[in-house]
A and B are shown apart, each in its own frame.
Chain A
Amino acid sequence: MMKQPIDLQELTDRIMKELQERLPQRESVRQESPHSRESAVPAEAPFLEEAPSPMVPKPQSPEQLEEWCASTPARIGVWRAGTRPLTRAMLKFRCDHAAAVDSVYGEVKRETLEHFGLFSVDTQYGNIENYLKRPDMGRVLTDQGTEKLLAECRRNPQVQIVVSDGLSANAIERNLPDVYPALLDSLQANGLNSGTPFFVKGGRVAVMDHIGELLQPEVLVLLIGERPGLVSSASMSAYMCYRPRKGMMESNRTVLSNIHQGGTPPVEAGAHIGTLLRNMLEQQTSGVKLVI
């Protein structure tokens, strides 16, 4: 697939390695049953209960097939009708896609924002179609939003927390209740203080730069919904940047991605973010230059 610039890749590598050491993430991937793919969905999901065994009617080695199916979340052992998939496998796939699509077009509930004491500002995205076509407009707040930030937010905070729906409102709904308190605890444990948090509707990652210009924080963390996949339509990323300002290079941001049940566990992610932010403040840098 299309590659990111190499520096970004190195960054991702390093964070992945770090995560592999710190978090039991990889184990959880392996333990997942091959058909329980909506890892973001809590226990009431019917498919999790079923965890169907392989559908091949007379495999040469049933035991081997079970073992292989358990070795990957890929949809294998699904069998066929002629050359086409069986009906349940086909519909299950379409269900997972439906969840992902609805996640893109969903909205974060007002109650959720109120619960965490977040007021809301808009980017210039306008509407969802425009949001998808014009990432540049999701990187700049509206004039009204700008005024609101300047009126309500403390300037020059040590840590600025921002939450945004991004490409998955579902990711915020599902993960914020775990990530947010863990993040606040972790800031306290690391002796860091934070400014006035808020929510950005229709945000892209680089909206960090505009906010950075306005509020001049030392470090900024943006909790944002990722592009939904079929394994999880509710995966969140935390993008972090030391002194975010206009024209910041992608490679200057540090990212903790894949935050969801079944990926990077949300509570542990919240705790880990605090440590990363402290490192940034100590080293006065972020992104590829940050030593973690």
Chain B
Amino acid sequence: MNLKTTLLGHTYQFRDLKEIMAKANEEKAGDQLAGIAAENAKERMAAKWVLSELTLEQIRENPLLPPEQDEISRVIEEDLNKKIYAEIRHWSVAELREYLLSSTTGADEIRRVSRGLTSEMIAAVSKVMSNLDLIQAAAKIEVITHCNISIGQKGVLAGRAQPNHPADDVNGIRASLFEALSYGIGDAVIGINPVIDTADSVKAIMNMTKDVINRFQIPTQNCVLAHITTQMRAIRQGGHADLVFQSIAGTEAGNRAFGIDLALLEEADALAHSEGTGAGPNIWYFETGQGSELSGDAHYGMDQVTLEARCYGLARRFKPFIVNTVVGFIGPEYLYDGKQVTRAGLEDHFMGKLHQLPMGVDVCYTNHMKVDQNDMDNLAVLLGTAGVNFIIGVPMADDCMLNYQSTSYHDIATLRETLGLRPAPAFEKWLEKMGIMSGGRLTAAAGDATLFA
């Protein structure tokens, strides 16, 4: 494996693949915090150059975290289709990039090749792609999933209604949910982050949202984003959950910090299939986000893009209905400014899609980042163009429970009208029946929550 290059009159010798992968990243505060980022712009380019010439086989043969030491590495290795891999193992990372971007490569070709790629290969190729590369390649990929309805079709932009309340007041949550529905939002999921992580409280929110769905015959699915063990208790005690949720990390140790492991996810999967209320076959909702492994001191010197890709390697085993990268939630020590958040959002969306995952993005920021709502407007448009399956809808983009800013009900409606995108087909039919949408545009009645009074 060649770890050396001469660039602009300077010879760069890298220690190993892990160092090259880290230094080939675009600038990220989290890689700098971990002490693994490129020293300067030239070293970054040298790493990209060397990486582009490595073969897929060299990446597989030099595991960053050996399968013997980590169950996520084992999942990724086990789920690799060895025959398809054998056909492409001699490709360089540069050739993989060019294959993905080639005008003769379409959705079907990418779907097939993706089965022969490990998460590390997918991370590697993203490091030698520009933002527009990431957008164009992702836009080719169509990942349609079905829980109670199908989402992910070309030309569809779904929205998660996220009507959180700082005290889990079900009346307040319901009011905000009606506001979401009146703007045509809620086809991806009606998903609430609870404050109180107890089975009783979670069950109450599950069943309130399910009642609303039944009462107005809304073609969608519900989910309460408590810890998976709490959701399992709530389901066993009679809670109605179409989807089950969990935040995941890219290493076994990272997941342990989240209080989960593979066995627990499998147990939850079995429970959701036997006692969940969703039609399926896709019944999972996963969330990820660059930086969580480092914050849990579970990164093993790997960069945050590679770790994020490994989350997707884990997620694809469970054939989720939706996956959401919460791209700017974790703070400036991982993604410092609007430029870093934008890059991470596009990387995550592309890497998830190349894993054939139904990717959504929480286009978001906290108040101590050098980011504002204009950055969110920009990234939302870029992702809409890249074919993101769904984004998040909170009232006026201000989540009054989680204390961060995301995208709004208005924003999703605007992206649909501006980019010519539509709600999920089954949901759009329902919106027409309710008089909220006509011909793909909001009617004069839309935006009045008391349509549901």
Contact = CB atoms under 8 A, between A and B. Distances in A.
Are A and B subunits of one complex?
A: yes
B12 interface: no
A166 to B, nearest CB: 10
A232 to B, nearest CB: 9
A60 interface: yes
Contacts of A290: none
A71 B172 contact: yes
B437 to A, nearest CB: 11
B400 interface: yes
Given A6-B227, A59-B450, A72-B400, A230 B258 contact: no
B165 A72 contact: yes
A137 to B, nearest CB: 10
A74 B287 contact: no
Contacts of B330: 2
A278 interface: no
Contact of A230 (B29, B287, B333, B405): B405
A132 B171 contact: no
Nearest to A72: B172
A97 B167 CA distance: 22
Nearest to A132: B332
Give the interface size class of chain B.
Answer: 35 or more
Contact of A64 (B179, B259, B453): B453
B58 interface: no
Interface string A126-150: 0000001111100000000000000
Contacts of B367: 97, 100-101, 103-104, 227-230, 233
Given A132-B336, A231-B400, 13 more contacts: A2-B292, A6-B258, A30-B169, A58-B448, A59-B449, A61-B450, A65-B448, A65-B450, A72-B169, A72-B175, A73-B400, A78-B395, A230-B367
Nearest to B291: A2
6 closest Cβ pairs, A-B complex: A229-B403, A6-B259, A72-B172, A68-B175, A75-B396, A100-B367
Interface stretch (B62-70, B272-280, B409-417): B409-417
B266 interface: no
Contacts of B13: none
Nearest to A86: B410
Contacts of B329: 1-2
B84 interface: no
A26 B401 CA distance: 13
A83 B227 contact: no
Contacts of A56: 447-450
Interface in B425-453: 442, 446-451, 453
Contact of A89 (B172, B331, B396, B449): B396
Contacts of A5: 257-259, 296
Interface in A31-82: 37, 56, 58-62, 64-65, 68-69, 71-80, 82
Interface string A211-247: 0000000000000000111110100000000000000
Interface of B: 29, 32-33, 163-167, 169, 171-173, 175-176, 178-179, 183, 193, 195-198, 225, 227, 229, 247, 257-259, 287, 289, 292, 295-296, 326, 329-333, 336, 366-369, 372-373, 394-398, 400, 402-405, 408, 410, 413-414, 417, 442, 446-451, 453
B294 to A, nearest CB: 11
A29 interface: yes
A72 B173 contact: yes
A82 to B, nearest CB: 8
Interface residues of A, number: 57
8 contacts: A2-B329, A13-B198, A97-B372, A132-B368, A133-B333, A134-B33, A227-B403, A228-B368
A96 B398 CA distance: 10
Contacts of A61: 450, 453
A85 interface: yes
Nearest to A75: B396
A33 to B, nearest CB: 13
B412 to A, nearest CB: 9
Contacts of B336: 132-133
A68 B449 contact: yes
A84 B410 contact: yes
A9 B198 CA distance: 11
B395 A76 contact: yes
A76 to B, nearest CB: 4
A116 interface: no
A115 interface: no
Contact of A29 (B166, B179, B332): B166
Given A9-B227, A80-B410, A132-B333, A74 B398 contact: yes
Chain B CB count within 10 A is highest, among A2, A82, A133, for: A2
Given A6-B227, A71-B171, A228-B368, A83 B417 contact: yes
A262 B90 CA distance: 62
B247 A231 contact: no
Contact of B413 (A58, A68, A83, A231): A83
